[in-house]
Amino acid sequence: ENAPQTEAKNTAKPATAATLDRDSTCTTCHDENESKPILSIYQTAHGNKADSRTPSCQSCHGDSAKHLSNKSAAPDVIFGTKSVGSHAPSEAKDQNKACLTCHDKDAKRTHWEASVHQTADVACTSCHETHTAHDKVRDKKTQPDVCFACHKDQRTQINKFSHHPIGEGKVACSDCHNPHGSAGPKLLNKNTVTETCYTCHADKRGPFLWEHQPVTEDCTNCHTPHGSNITPLLKSRAPFMCQECHDGPHQSKAPAAGNVEGTQGGLTSVPNESFAGRACMNCHSMVHGSNHPAGALLQR
Amino acid sequence: LSAYAADDADALTKPSSSVDFGVLYSSQDSARFGQYNGLNKKGFYGLGGFDVRGGDGYDRDKNSALRWKLNGSDLGTTSRNMGASIGEQGKWKFGIGYDELRHNITDTFQTPYREDTGGNNFTLPANFGGTNGGVIPASRGLTPTQLSAFHTEKEYSTRRNGSVGATFSFTDSLSAQIDYNHLEQSGAKLIGTGSQAGINLLGGSTGRAEAVAMIMNPTSSSTDNINAALNWVGDKAHLTAGYYGSLFHDDYNSLNWQTQQTTAASNCVGINCYVNNSMSTAPSNSFHQANLSGGYDFSSTTKLVGGFSYGYNKQNDNYAPTLIPQISRNTPNPYNMMQANGLPTTSLNGVVETTHGDIKLTNKSIKDLNLSAGFKFDERDNRTDSNTYKYMQIANVAYTGVNTPYSNRKLQYEAAADYRLAKGQNLNLTYLHESLKRWCSSVVGGAECVSSPASEEDKISLTYRLKLIESVNFNAGYTYADRRADTTNFLANAGNYAVVTPVSGSAFNAGNYQGFVAYPYASRSQNVGKAGVNWQVTQKLDLALNGRYSYDDYDAQLGVQNGQSAAVNVDATYNYTDDGSVSAYWSWQNGQRNLTSGAVNNGVAAFTPSQIIAPKNIWSNKLDDNSQAFGLLAKQGGLLGGKLELIGDLSYSLDTTTYATDVPYLTTCATPASLTCGVVSPIKNELISLKLTGNYKIVENGKLSLSYMYQKLNSNDYFYNSQQFGYTPNRVMPNGLQDQDYTVNVVALSYNHKF
């Protein structure tokens, strides 16, 4: 939250006093008695009047001449996703146009046009609250709830037995994803899945002497990052997971079933270390790659 | 509403600062409950947090854009964080931060090894003695002396992250930004270790191979990340030139431990008869990346954006020792893991160059039609040398390995059209073609090293969005993808290169049976459908329903045959007053995977993996992953004249994972002695959580919060069976790891003061 934020581009704007004067056209009626915190926008970056770029009410909501002459008429631009009283929100493209007047040119929004959120008519105000000092989507602890309003599968997955500390407020969706568009898959911050994961898991980057091909290509070949019933964030459990790619060497060819449960599961013979517990990874524990000269089989 | 109505305009326009402090009590020791929240121990915790803001930039009468902020939260736990920032908006900004997170893994791990968490040299007590892996654990037993050596170690990994960042605007159109963070990690995570105990012993015998023990692999490392960027913004264009650096340093390059397991034949049973072992840890490495991205507006309706990145990843950490000193009285000292002249170099000098390029053109010049066309290029070029490494593998068998540095290149071409059929009605059509190449450069022997050297994929998506009426939004989408993978001529350098035969044996199809294809590299067709509806029934009531289904079909005689996933989510929110609301959700998810594989040749010895598997030897396995979750959240404010707010949050989730194996060619597979077919007991995790919070405004700026949380986890996982004393496989050291069930009650009282 304390990281410097990308600044809006500098465009010609009225001086501070003039901006406040223009605001007063609206704040004369829309005051502290509003059901929504209209005036608290002055606590936000959009209310820092000494910044020559700071907008007035009309900069975003339009001159709204009809509204000024007839209070029951809607202002030019109504933000949000729900109807308020008799006023329906403006179309997403019209809402976003107001925001992009200043925020359309910076590295974080370079790929907004034709991005999955843009084409799905997601409005800036679908996620951002511009009139409050605390914009939930820019707070690590509250951001996930904003994203889960649409991404409901992930809302369930982050509470699974194995998960990143998202619900605990230590990892946010935006640590991996850029909702404003990106050059990577799934709106990832980096160009590839592996590059994104390495920002925190640099120990898996290598390059290793003995590489594991699917590991070098895509972490999600084995892991599911939003949550799993199998630790650590695995799509499946060894030996079954390993057998999805191996059917020959060592015990990978052998069918496994109740024997993975060991003696307590009813097995009368001695449990096999290739099936029980960590199974294959009892010995082949360097599945992300080994840098040992005697570790070709990812055992060292 | 009442909260705001009670405030005056000044309170709304001036910065709101707050400080809170209090105490929390947790009723149970539980590493699982405290996995990430720092509440892993029973007892009292201090609560503390602050958010203080100020600066003339908040004063409308002063012509200053200067604002500053101090914040901190969870100060009384190991999940604490703090930060500070100051800046003159539009000109400069400076920020610092500190974030701490302790990942509590388990508090039931038992080990006889002598080493603190975070160390890398694990030794056994001198009087521990040997154990014979040749007999079953129950009869082998551990002596009272050996059992007394076991002690509990709490497994955890702590992350401390310090950051500093700054931005500066040189002119209206030119600004610079730099962020730096230093991440320190300490602690350990459990890792399986197969011993090379099969070393030569006097008399020509060998020590027992594959003696397995779980070791506390140290996570003693640091990562420095640097992000620097220079941003230029013009009227029609913008450009950002940046640098990203990531430097990972591991304090260790090896993990060392002793194995007590030997055989009677070795004359090596008793005091000090241990085999010393060593394996590698994550190597230190560096990554430097230059980035360039920007865009140009040809007109208000036609825009071009693109980017280019070049990354240089190097790893040249010294190899872990291969000469392992032995204290066993009968073993060669030291034991050389490598064969004569088997070590071509003392470090890898590994280099991977990553290159990325992307360009996208968007056009809105035709009314109601948005068009886009894009191209992406991603390459991982592993320039590491390939060499031959001759060593003694884990069972003391001579092994020749050839490292195969993997490279790949992905090209993506995308075209999309979004057409507005009518107001509130859109149709989106997207086509994507992906071309993927894989290779290894200059591999010793020159054989094809990769699974699926090439693949081509076409994907087409159709999405329809409809605003049925102002209060009802509907969307539906369908995606079809067809991946055609080249799996021919695959002769991996996997396996023991010394015995590789080009048309069969360990190198053929990576040692897999003919017709087997690993699922990431198989030809595949994919169908995905999804739909959803959001209905604002009234100003107070919102309903939502959405679902998705996907089906993947793999073209492989052996391997994963198909997989499917489905999900349904139902949401309802009722804001019955401005101060009161109730919201509920229900979520169901299911995933399945069907695998067909080939087993050993039904009793026939010396079966060569490269042979075509006989139909009678086919077996199958089905994964079934189910998840259900329910949540209910209720809020009621405005009580007692607007002084009291009550919040209730109830959630329940049940996740089960089941494996079913069918082996038709074995009529005896379900016997208690084998259990190679049938259904595995579900891996089950059931979580119930209830949190009740009351916030009472005792003074104008002071709020007292009392909260109670009940959380219960019912966990049932067969994984732990084989970790117990007397129930392990022959050569596995028990560790007593237990299921991580818990029932925790938490009470917290805190005071929040605003000023």
* pLDDT at res. B617: 81
DSSP for A177-200?
A: B-TT--SSGGGBSSSSHHHHHHTT
* pLDDT at res. A14: 44
pLDDT in tens, B140-161: 678 898 899 999 999 999 999 9
* pLDDT at res. B66: 95
DSSP for B652-708?
A: EEEEEEEEEEE-TT-TTTTSTTT--SEEPPPEEEEEEEEEEEEEEEEETTEEEEEEE
Query: Residue B148: which of B124, B122, B184, B118 has the closest Cα?
Result: B124
Helix or strand holding residue A25 (H, E): helix A16-27
Counting one residue from chain A and one from chain B, the pairs whose CB atoms sit within 8 A come to 524
- Count of residues in chain B: 755
Instruction: Please state, in angstroms and as integers, the Cα–Cα distance from residue B154 to each residue in B157, B189, B213, B719, following that order.
Output: 10, 10, 17, 19
Peptide bond connecting A165 to the previous residue in cis, omega within 30 degrees of 0: no
Higher pLDDT: B452 or A143? It is: A143
Mean pLDDT of chain B: 89
Q: Do B619 and B608 touch, CB atoms closer than 8 A?
A: no
Of B516, B548, B678, the CB nearest to A247: B516
* B1 confidence band (pLDDT: 50, 70, 90): very low
Average pLDDT over residues B596-609: 60
Helix or strand holding residue B139 (H, E): helix B137-140
Helix (H, G, I), strand (E, B) or coil at A173: helix
> Which range is most confident: A199-213, A265-279, B659-673?
A199-213
Backbone Cα Rg of chain B: 31
> Which range is most confident: A197-201, B145-149, B555-559, B614-618?
A197-201
pLDDT in tens, A278-296: 999 999 999 999 999 999 9
Q: What is the residue type of B92?
A: W
The half-sphere exposure of B440 on its side-chain side, counting CA atoms within 13 A, is 30
Average pLDDT over residues A177-194: 96
Query: With 0-12 CB in 10 A as exposed, 13-18 as middle and 19+ as buried, what is B121?
Result: middle
Q: Does A188 touch chain B (CB under 8 A)?
A: no
Query: With 0-12 CB in 10 A as exposed, 13-18 as middle and 19+ as buried, what is A290?
Result: buried
Query: Residue B391: which of A217, A70, A60, A295 has the closest Cα?
Result: A295
* A32 confidence band (pLDDT: 50, 70, 90): confident
CA distance B272 to chain A (A): 24
pTM of the model: 0.93
CA dist., res. B458 & res. B443, Å (int): 31
Q: Does A266 touch chain B (CB under 8 A)?
A: yes
| Interface contact B675-A257, CB threshold 8 A | yes
DSSP for A215-239?
A: HHH-GGGTB-TT-BSBTTTBSS-TT
> Is a pLDDT exceeding 50 seen at residue A12?
no
Q: How far is CA B187 from the centre of its chain?
A: 18
Q: Does A218 touch chain B (CB under 8 A)?
A: yes
Query: Residue B750: which of B691, B692, B689, B696 has the closest Cα?
Result: B696
Residues of B in contact with A256 (CB under 8 A): 621, 661, 676
DSSP for B560-618?
A: EEEEEEEEEEEEEEE--SSSEEEEEEEEEEEEEEEEEEE-S-TT-SS--TTSBPPGGGE
Neighbours of B236 (CB within 10 A): 12
* pLDDT at res. A104: 85
Query: Residue A237: which of A260, A263, A215 has the closest Cα?
Result: A260
Helix (H, G, I), strand (E, B) or coil at A264: helix
CA dist., res. B194 & res. B212, Å (int): 5
Indicate the DSSP class of residue B480. E
| Interface contact A268-B470, CB threshold 8 A | no
| Interface contact A294-B358, CB threshold 8 A | no
Query: With 0-12 CB in 10 A as exposed, 13-18 as middle and 19+ as buried, what is B278?
Result: buried
CA dist., res. B678 & res. B681, Å (int): 10
Tracing tokens 């509806």 back to the chain, one arrives at B533
> Is a pLDDT exceeding 50 seen at residue B187?
yes
| Interface contact A153-B191, CB threshold 8 A | no
Neighbours of A159 (CB within 10 A): 20
Query: With 0-12 CB in 10 A as exposed, 13-18 as middle and 19+ as buried, what is A282?
Result: buried
DSSP for A50-76?
A: TSTT---HHHHH---HHHHH-TTSPPS
CA distance B454 to chain A (A): 13
What is the number of H-type helices and E-type strands within chain B? 5, 37
Helix (H, G, I), strand (E, B) or coil at B413: strand
CA dist., res. B62 & res. A112, Å (int): 36
| Interface contact A255-B5, CB threshold 8 A | no
| Interface contact B233-A291, CB threshold 8 A | no
CA dist., res. B534 & res. B475, Å (int): 9
Q: Do B414 and B377 touch, CB atoms closer than 8 A?
A: no
Neighbours of B755 (CB within 10 A): 10
Ranges A5-9, B235-239, B410-414: which has the least confidence:
A5-9
pLDDT in tens, B624-635: 999 999 999 999
Buried b (16+ CB within 10 A) or exposed e, B439-472: bbeebbeebbbbbbbbbebebebebbbbbeeebe
CA dist., res. B223 & res. A203, Å (int): 9
Q: Do A296 and A286 touch, CB atoms closer than 8 A?
A: no
* pLDDT at res. B272: 58
| Interface contact B280-A295, CB threshold 8 A | yes
Q: What is the residue type of B751?
A: Y
| Interface contact A293-B391, CB threshold 8 A | yes
* pLDDT at res. B196: 55
Ranges B6-15, B232-241, B500-509: which has the least confidence:
B500-509
At CB < 8 A and 24+ separation, what contacts does A188-196 make?
A191/B309, A191/B354, A191/B356, A191/B358, A191/B378, A192/A218, A192/B354, A192/B356, A192/B378, A192/B380, A193/A218, A193/A219, A193/A220, A194/A218, A194/A219, A195/B311, A195/B354
> Is a pLDDT exceeding 80 seen at residue A36?
no
Which residues does A99 contact at the CB level (< 8 Å), separation at least 6? Answer: A60, A124
* B552 confidence band (pLDDT: 50, 70, 90): very high
> Is a pLDDT exceeding 50 seen at residue B269?
no
Q: Do B177 and B167 touch, CB atoms closer than 8 A?
A: yes
pLDDT in tens, B85-100: 999 999 999 999 999 9
CA distance B352 to chain A (A): 7
The three-point CA angle B108-B277-B207 to 5° equals 105
Of A2, A105, A264, the CB nearest to B96: A2
* pLDDT at res. B605: 40
| Interface contact A245-B519, CB threshold 8 A | yes
Q: What is the residue type of B218?
A: P
Helix (H, G, I), strand (E, B) or coil at A246: coil
Q: Do A87 and A76 touch, CB atoms closer than 8 A?
A: no
CA dist., res. B395 & res. B197, Å (int): 7
* pLDDT at res. A81: 83
Query: Residue B511: which of B495, B531, B488, B533 has the closest Cα?
Result: B495
Mean pLDDT of chain A: 89
Instruction: Please state, in angstroms and as integers, the Cα–Cα distance from residue B423 to each residue in B225, B363, B369, following that order.
Output: 47, 20, 13
Which residue of chain B is at minimal alpha-carbon distance from A120? B465
3-state secondary structure B317-356: CECCCCEECCCCCCCCCCEECECCCCCCCCECCEEEEEEE
Query: Residue B393: which of A216, A83, A298, A64 has the closest Cα?
Result: A298
pLDDT in tens, B525-547: 999 999 999 999 998 999 999 99
The half-sphere exposure of A23 on its side-chain side, counting CA atoms within 13 A, is 21
Higher pLDDT: B600 or A179? It is: A179
Tokens of B752: 């929040």
* pLDDT at res. B264: 46
Instruction: State residue B213 phi and psi, 5-degree precision.
Output: -140, 145
Which residue of chain B is at minimal alpha-carbon distance from A247? B512
